[in-house]
Amino acid sequence: MTDLENQLQKALIGGRRFFTKAEVSDDLRTLHKHGGRQGDVFYRDRWSHDKVVRSTHGVNCTGSCSWKVYVKDGIITWEAQQTDYPSAGPDRPEYEPRGCPRGAAFSWYTYSPTRVRYPYVRGVLLDLFRAAKQQYGDPVVAWGSIVQDEEKARAYKKARGKGGLVRASWDEVAEIVAAAHVYTVKRWGPDRIAGFSPIPAMSPVSYASGSRFLELIGAPMLSFYDWYADLPNASPQMFGDQTDVPESGDWWDAGYLIMWGSNVPMTRTPDAHWMTEARYRGQKVVAVAPDYAENVKFADEWVTTAPGTDGALAMAMGHVVLKEFFVEKNVAFFNDYNKQYTDLPHLICLERTADGVYRPGKYLVAGDLDHPEGGAENAMWKPAVIDAGTGEVRIPQGAIGHRFGDEGLGKWNLELGDIDPALTMYDGVRESVEVELPRFDEPDGKVRHHRRGVPVARVGDRLVTTVLDLMLAQYGVPRDGLPGEWPTGYDDPAGPSTPAWQATHTGVPAAQVERLAREWAQNAIDTEGRGMILMGAGVNHWFHSDQIYRAMLVLTTITGCQGRNGGGWAHYVGQEKIRPIMGFQHMAFALDWHRPPRHMNQTAYWYVNTSQYRYDTFTADDLDSGTGVFAGKSVMDLLAQSVRLGWSPSYPTFDRSSLQLADDAEAAGMEAPAYVASELKAGNLRFAVEDPEHEDNHPRILSLWRSNLLGSSAKGNEYFLRHLLGTDSAATAVEAPPEMRPKDVVWADKAAEGRLDLLTTLDFRMTSSTIFSDVVLPAATWYEKHDLSTTDMHPFIHSFNPAIAPPWQTKSDWDTWKVIAKKFSELAVDHLGTRKDVVAKPLWHDTAEAMATEHGVVKDWKLGPDHPDGCDPVPGKTMPVIAVVERDYTQVYEKMTSIGPLLEKVGMLTKGVAYDVAREVDILRTRNGVVHGGAGDGQPKVETDVQMADAMLHLAGVSNGHLATQGFRFLEKRTGTRLADLAAEHEGKQITFADTQVAPVPVITSPEWSGSESGGRRYAPFTINIERKKPFHTLTGRQQFYVDHDWFIGMGEMLPVYRPPLNMTALFGEAPIGEQNELGVSVRYLTPHNKWSIHSEYQDNLFMLSLSRGGQSVWVSDRDAAKVGIKDNDWIEMVNRNGVVAARAIVSHRMPEGTVYMHHAQDRLIDVPLTERDGKRGGIHNSLTRILMKPNHLVGGYAQLAYFFNYIGPIGNNRDEVTMIRRRTAKVEY
C-alpha cells in the first residue's frame, strides 16, 4: 500500500471518528455503537403490529400447520408459524414449527390483483338471463328458457373461458344459481347436479357448506381421493381400510426408513425434519427415486429406478426376504406374526383347467366343507386353514362371517385359540402340482405364463395350498422337490422375481437389491418390526399402482412391521385424515336429515361425462391374463356392469328422473325397490351410464368450491373443455373404431358437447376453473373465516380464525351456500314442494351388504336367471340398494342450518360401529341454541361456521371421549376383546372449538381409526388390530395378500405381480420413448408435485414465482435436451394426442434421460403463450393426460372390495403417459 493510499483511506474511513459518537477501533476496522434504538426506528416500526390471530391454510395440503397471522391497522401484514404444539415427548423432537414457503406466502393473496372481490357472471349469460327474466318474470322459467334454447345455450357455452366476466350483485347471482338448481331438480332430477370440493380434513366446515346443501337436495358429491389417483387401491384390497398411516412423529421410531417415490422435503415440508433427525438416532435412510430428488440428499443410498418399475424392485426384495428368511431360515418373529395377522396360512383351492394344469382359485371356506362349521351362519364367509399340529382343517375366528350376524358376537377377533395354522403345505413334500402363473414383464405388458410347483393337501376332492406357498411360487423362490421353471439363483435374469431380473427392468444393480432386502429383514428382526416405507405419488400415480403397492406392502407385512410404532407403510399422497370423521360425515352429508347420501366416484363420472370413454382404445381384453374374463368387452362395458350390479355408484343413475321414478312406482302401486328391479328387468328403465350422450342423461350443474378442477385434477383436460363445457379444445385423438367400442352402451353418432348448463366456482383468486365458470363467487380467504383443521401427519385439531372480516363483497363458503340455500328454498315453493326421490346406492363396505357375492363369483342379472352366469335383479344383493327419500325442497335452508332428527332417532354408524348420540344432540341444543319454527323446530342450531365446527367435534370420538368409549364398548361386544380402556383415560374430555382457538389439541383414541394414541404415544396405524387382536375389515379379517374375486383371478392379479408401465405406443400409437421426429423427442411424461405450489395454489403467487422460473416450466435432462437442441429457459412445446403444452424448459443433469417432469397444476394463467401448433392458449399439465380406468378397481359387493366414498374405486392415474418435446421455433405470442 502506498502512503498516498494509506492517507486517503484514513481520510475516508478514519474520518468516521470525528462524525460519530460511536467507538471506532484503533485499527480503524470497525465501529462499535451502543444501541441503535434511535437510528433504526424504521425496523422497529416495521415489526410492530396490533394483533396476532391463529389460523391455517385449507385444502389439498396435508400440512395442517398452525400459523400466526399478523395484523396492523386492520390489514393483514404477514404470517409466521405457531410454535405451541403440545409436546411429542421429552425424548424426541417436536412438531414446531410447522409450515412451508407456500403457506408463508399466503397473505399475498389477500390484497393481490388476482383476488376475486365481487360476484361475476359471464356477460353473455347475464344478458340472456336478464332478458328472459324480463320476459317471464319467474327466474326458474327464465333459466329454462335459456338452456332449452339450443342457440342461446351454445352462445354462452362457447364463450366459456374467453373473458367477458362482468360484475353482478349477490342477489342476482344467488337467483341465477338457485333458479338453475330448482329448474334442474324439477326437469331432470336432483342427481343431474353435482358438487366437487376436495379433501375436507383441512377445512371440514367449508367443505360441508356446499355438500350439506347439495345432499339435502339430493345431488351427489364427487369423490376426490380416488380421482386424484392418491387412493392406493392396495389398501382396501389388503387392509380393508381406505388408508391409515403413521403421523410423522412416528418416523422417529423407525430403525430403517425407505422413502420410495415420496419426496419428503418437497411434499411433506413441515414433517421432513423428523426424517433428518431420526438419522441421528442411527436410522438408516434409503431413497428410491428416478431423479436426484430433494430427499435423495438425506439418504444413505440412492436407488435409481426407471420410472414406473418399482413393482419389480419390490418383488425382487420380496424374493430375497422370502428365500432367506422364510425358506432358508425359520424366523419365529415372522412366522408368529403371519400366522395370526395375515392370510399367508389360509387355504386356496387349485382349479384344474381344460389343459390339465392348475390355476390358483378361491379361498376354501367353511361353507365349502363337510365340517362342523359348514352349516354355521355366514359359512361362505369364513376361510379355512390347516392346523400344523393335527393336519385338520380349522376355521379361525375373525373373518367377515363373524363380523355380522348373531353367531359371530364375541368371536370377531384374531385370537387363534388352539389353532396353529400351517404356513405351508411343504412338509418334505407330501404332494405337489404345477400351477400356471401369469407374468406381464414383457414390454407389451401382455400376459405370458410360466409353471411353478406348489405343495398341496387334499381336502375332500379339493386340492389346496396356502397363500404362502403360492407366494413363494409367484416370487420364484425354489424349494427342493417342487417341479416347474425356477430361477437358478439371484443372478438369473430370466424369470420373475430375482434381483438380476429386476435389474433388467429397473436398472438397479442386483447386489444393491440383495443387500437392501437383507438389511430390511434383519432390521425388522432386530427392532421387532420397526422398518418403515414412506411411499407416495411417485409410485402411486401409475395405472398399475395397486400392484406396485401390493408388492411393497408384502415387504412391510411379512416382516411383521405393520401395526407397529416406527413400522409399516406410510402412504403420503392425498391421504388426509379428517380425524373427527364421524361428526364430519354426518354433518357434511346431511345424514341427520336424510339417508342414504349420494356419493360418486369422480374418475368414472368424468370418464363417462367428458366422453373420454369414446377415445379409449384400451380394451378390457388388454388386461386379462388369458382367462377370457373380459372377452370382447371395453372398459366402459365393465363400468356399466359394475354399476348395474351395485358395485359402483353412478349418477345420474337412470335415464329417468329419480323424482319421476318415485311417482311412477307409486302410480304402479309398488314399492320403489321392486318397481325399479322390474322396470330394469323389463328393459323399460336403463342406467344413464348405458347411454351417456343422450341429453336425458347429462349432468347439468356443477359447483366447485375449495377446488380448481380445471387447472389441477382434470385428467383429460381438453376433453373437459370440449365435451363438458363446449369450448375450445386442443385434443386431436380420434374416437375408437367400431370393433373397439362398448357393446352394452349406446354409441351415439356424435358425442355431446357442452353438457353442463351451469358451472359455478367459489374462490378468492382467479384460476383455470374460475375463468371457465359461468358464475364466479368471491370467497373469503383462509384468514377470514372460522374452520377446523386436522391431518394424519400430526395428532392435533386446531382452527382457522378470521384475522380480518371478509373484505369487499367476499363471503365464507358457509355463508355463500346459505345464501344459495335460502334463495333455492324460496323458489322451490312454487316449483318443487315436497317430492319423493329414489336413491340408488352401491353395496357398502363395513356393512352386511359387503357379503353379496359369495366367493367373488360374478353373476349378472342382465343375462337373466337362466344363464349360468346370470341371476335375477335383487336390490341390495345383485344390484344397487334402492331407497326412497322424501325431500321438502322448501325447507332446505332450515335443514341446512339445524341438526336433523335422525341422529336421535337412529343414531350414527361409522365403520360398522353404532353410536347413540342423544346426549350429544342435547348438549348441542344448549351450546348452539335451539331453532324455533320450520323444519328444524326444537333442534340444535348450526347457523354459523363455529356452531357447525362444534357440532362436528361433539359428534366424533376423537374429540369426544364419551363417544370414543361408547364405540369401543360396542366393538367389545363384537370382538370379545378388551378395547374401551384405550379411550377411558379421556372419557370425560370434550374438545370444543374454543379449545382449538387457544392451541392445537391432541385427539383421543377412537374406533374411528385403527391406531392407539393412549398414554401419549405416537399414532401408527393398525396398532389396535395387532395389540388387541381386532380384525382387519377384510374377508379373512387378516391383512390379505391374496384376492380371489373373479375379476382379479381373470386379470392374473390374485397376488402381487409386476406389471410394467402401459405401453403407449402399442395402445395409442404414440412414438416410443427415445424416438425422434419432427415433433422432437419422445419422453415419459411425469407430473410430480411442485416445489412452488400446493397443487394449483401458490403457483400464481408472486413470491413463489420470484423464487422459481416465473411461469410454467418443464424439467428435462441435459441428455434429452441436447438431442433436440433445447437450452435452459428455452420455450418448448409438448404435444401428444390429448393436447398441447407451451412452457419453458429447465435443463438439468439431475433428471434421468428419457423422462420429463412437468410439475403439476401450474395452471394456464401465468405467462402461457399461444401454442405454435394451434395458435391457442397453451394447456395445463393435464392437457396431455386422459382417464384410463383399471377394471378391478370397479369390483364391489365382495368383503373389503365394497364401495365407500373415497375408499375404493377407479383412480385418475396419470403417470404412464408419454409426449413429444421440442424447442419452439415460432415467435412467442400471447
Partner 1 sequence: MRVMSQMAMVMNLDKCIGCHTCSVTCKQAWTNRAGTEYVWFNNVETRPGLGYPRTYEDQEEWQGGWVRKPNGRIALRAGGRLKKLLTIFSNPKLPSIQDYYEPWTYDYETLLSSPQTDTFPVARPKSLISGKDMNVEWSANWDDDLGGSHEHAARDVMLRGIEDKVKLEFEQTFMFYLPRICEHCLNPSCAASCPSGAIYKREEDGIVLVDQDRCRGWRMCVSGCPYKKIYFNHKTGKAEKCTFCYPRIEVGIPTVCAETCVGRLRYIGLVLYDADKVLEAASIEDEHDLYDAQRACFLDPEDPDVQRAAEAAGIPADWIEAARKSPVWALINRYEVALPLHPEYRTMPMVWYIPPLSPVVDVIRDTGEDAEERGNLFAAIDALRIPVEYLANLFTAGDPEPVTRVLKKLAAMRSYMRDINLGREPDESIPAAVGMSGEDMYEMFRLLAIAKYDERY
Q: Select from 191-199, 514-522, 787-795, 885-893 the region that touches partner 1 (CB under 8 A).
A: 514-522
User: CA 29 from chain center: how many Å?
Assistant: 61
- Nearest approach in angstroms of CB 823 to partner 1 is 24
Using the structure block, give the residue that is written with the C-alpha cell 431360515: 329
- Nearest approach in angstroms of CB 78 to partner 1 is 4
Q: Select from 99-107, 792-800, 961-969, 1183-1191 the region that touches partner 1 (CB under 8 A).
A: 99-107
Q: Where are the beta strands (DSSP E) in 930-1041?
A: 1001-1002
Closest CA to 965 of 915, 918, 921, 924: 915
For the segment 635-674, give every residue that binds partner 1 (CB under 8 A). Answer: none
- Nearest approach in angstroms of CB 767 to partner 1 is 9
Chosen residue from 86, 93, 934, 976 binding partner 1 by CB under 8 A: 93
Q: Select from 79-87, 595-603, 975-983, 996-1004 the region that touches partner 1 (CB under 8 A).
A: 79-87
Residue number with CB closer to partner 1 (90 or 933): 90
User: Using CB under 8 A as the criterion, what x/- string covers residues 688-727 for binding partner 1?
Assistant: ----------------------------------------
Residue number with CB closer to partner 1 (95 or 915): 95
User: Using CB under 8 A as the criterion, what x/- string covers residues 291-310 for binding partner 1?
Assistant: -x-x-xxxxxxx--------
What is the C-alpha to C-alpha distance for residues 856 and 863, in angstroms, rounded to an integer?
Answer: 17
Q: Select from 9-17, 314-322, 696-704, 893-901 the region that touches partner 1 (CB under 8 A).
A: 9-17
When asked if residue 949 is in the footprint of partner 1 (CB under 8 A), the reply is no
Residues in contact with partner 1, total (CB under 8 A)?
Answer: 141
Give φ, ψ of 482 to 5 degrees: -90, 135
What is the C-alpha to C-alpha distance for residues 308 and 1084, in angstroms, rounded to an integer?
Answer: 10
In this structure, are residues 1083 and 1219 in contact, taking their beta carbons and an 8 Å threshold?
Answer: yes
Q: Where are the alpha helices (DSSP H) in 323-361?
A: 332-341
Chosen residue from 75, 86, 114, 136 binding partner 1 by CB under 8 A: 114
Chosen residue from 464, 623, 1132, 1165 binding partner 1 by CB under 8 A: 1165
Residue number with CB closer to partner 1 (26 or 1078): 26
When asked if residue 50 is in the footprint of partner 1 (CB under 8 A), the reply is no
DSSP symbol at 986: T
Q: Select from 427-435, 620-628, 1020-1028, 1169-1177 the region that touches partner 1 (CB under 8 A).
A: 1169-1177
Residue number with CB closer to partner 1 (528 or 826): 528
Closest CA to 1021 of 1013, 754, 729, 1029: 1013
What is the C-alpha to C-alpha distance for residues 734 and 330, in angstroms, rounded to an integer?
Answer: 57
- Nearest approach in angstroms of CB 366 to partner 1 is 43
Helix (H, G, I), strand (E, B) or coil at 436: strand
Q: Select from 373-381, 428-436, 437-445, 1163-1171 the region that touches partner 1 (CB under 8 A).
A: 1163-1171
Please spell the DSSP secondary structure of 1192-1211, one letter per residue. GGG--SBTTB-B-TTTSS--
For the segment 753-782, give every residue that binds partner 1 (CB under 8 A). Answer: 766, 770-771
- Nearest approach in angstroms of CB 262 to partner 1 is 14
When asked if residue 86 is in the footprint of partner 1 (CB under 8 A), the reply is no
Residue number with CB closer to partner 1 (367 or 1152): 1152
User: Using CB under 8 A as the criterion, what x/- string covers residues 524-543 for binding partner 1?
Assistant: --xx----------------
When asked if residue 1108 is in the footprint of partner 1 (CB under 8 A), the reply is yes
Residue number with CB closer to partner 1 (77 or 627): 77
When asked if residue 316 is in the footprint of partner 1 (CB under 8 A), the reply is no
In this structure, are residues 1059 and 361 in contact, taking their beta carbons and an 8 Å threshold?
Answer: no
- Nearest approach in angstroms of CB 705 to partner 1 is 18
Residue number with CB closer to partner 1 (1067 or 1166): 1166
Chosen residue from 54, 706, 845, 1177 binding partner 1 by CB under 8 A: 1177
Cross-strand pairs, 194: 702
Q: Select from 388-396, 985-993, 1066-1074, 1105-1113 the region that touches partner 1 (CB under 8 A).
A: 1105-1113
Give φ, ψ of 137 to 5 degrees: 80, -50
R_g over Cα of the chain: 31
When asked if residue 116 is in the footprint of partner 1 (CB under 8 A), the reply is yes
Residue number with CB closer to partner 1 (222 or 803): 803
Cross-strand pairs, 834: 888
Cross-strand pairs, 84: none
For the segment 1121-1150, give every residue that binds partner 1 (CB under 8 A). Answer: 1127-1129, 1146-1150
Distances (CA, A) of 132 to 44, 748, 890: 60, 32, 24
- Nearest approach in angstroms of CB 94 to partner 1 is 6
> How many other C-beta atoms lie within 10 A of the C-beta of residue 101?
14
Residues with Cβ within 8 Å of 207's Cβ and at least 6 positions away in sequence, in order, are 197, 199, 200, 584, 588, 706
In this structure, are residues 630 and 620 in contact, taking their beta carbons and an 8 Å threshold?
Answer: yes
Closest CA to 210 of 253, 242, 177, 240: 177
What is the C-alpha to C-alpha distance for residues 631 and 624, in angstroms, rounded to an integer?
Answer: 8
Chosen residue from 860, 1170, 1173, 1223 binding partner 1 by CB under 8 A: 1170
Residue 953 identity: L
CA-based max dimension of the chain: 115
Q: Select from 219-227, 668-676, 952-960, 1107-1115 the region that touches partner 1 (CB under 8 A).
A: 1107-1115
Helix (H, G, I), strand (E, B) or coil at 1216: coil
Please spell the DSSP secondary structure of 770-814, one letter per residue. HHH-SEEEEBP-TTSS-EEE--SSSSEEEEE--SSPPPTT-B-HH
When asked if residue 498 is in the footprint of partner 1 (CB under 8 A), the reply is no
What is the C-alpha to C-alpha distance for residues 635 and 647, in angstroms, rounded to an integer?
Answer: 15
When asked if residue 1115 is in the footprint of partner 1 (CB under 8 A), the reply is yes
Q: Which three cell numbers stand for residue 794?
A: 400430526
Angle among Cα 660, 663, 668 to the nearest 5 degrees reads 125
Residue number with CB closer to partner 1 (1085 or 1098): 1098
Q: Where are the alpha helices (DSSP H) in 791-932?
A: 813-831, 892-896, 902-906, 918-928
- Nearest approach in angstroms of CB 1200 to partner 1 is 35
User: Using CB under 8 A as the criterion, what x/- string covers residues 141-170 for binding partner 1?
Assistant: ------------------x-xxxxx-----
Convert 50-101 into a string of H (helix), E (strand) and C (coil): CEEEEECCCCCCCCCCCEEEEEECCEEEEEEECCCCCCCCCCCCCCCCCCCH
- Nearest approach in angstroms of CB 1163 to partner 1 is 10
Q: Select from 334-342, 589-597, 699-707, 1104-1112 the region that touches partner 1 (CB under 8 A).
A: 1104-1112
Chosen residue from 1167, 1172, 1216, 1217 binding partner 1 by CB under 8 A: 1167
Closest CA to 965 of 973, 957, 955: 957
> How many other C-beta atoms lie within 10 A of the C-beta of residue 411?
16
User: Using CB under 8 A as the criterion, what x/- string covers residues 10-49 for binding partner 1?
Assistant: --xx-xx--xx-xxxx-xxxxxxxxxx--xx-xxx-xxx-
For the segment 721-740, give every residue that binds partner 1 (CB under 8 A). Answer: 728
Residue number with CB closer to partner 1 (390 or 1106): 1106
Chosen residue from 512, 992, 1014, 1076 binding partner 1 by CB under 8 A: 512
For the segment 250-289, give every residue that binds partner 1 (CB under 8 A). Answer: 255, 264-266, 269-270, 272-273, 276-284, 287
Task: Characterize the bridge pairing of strands 193-196 and 701-705.
Answer: parallel
Q: Which three cell numbers stand for residue 200?
A: 375436507
- Nearest approach in angstroms of CB 530 to partner 1 is 9
What is the C-alpha to C-alpha distance for residues 818 and 816, in angstroms, rounded to an integer?
Answer: 5
Residue number with CB closer to partner 1 (324 or 485): 324
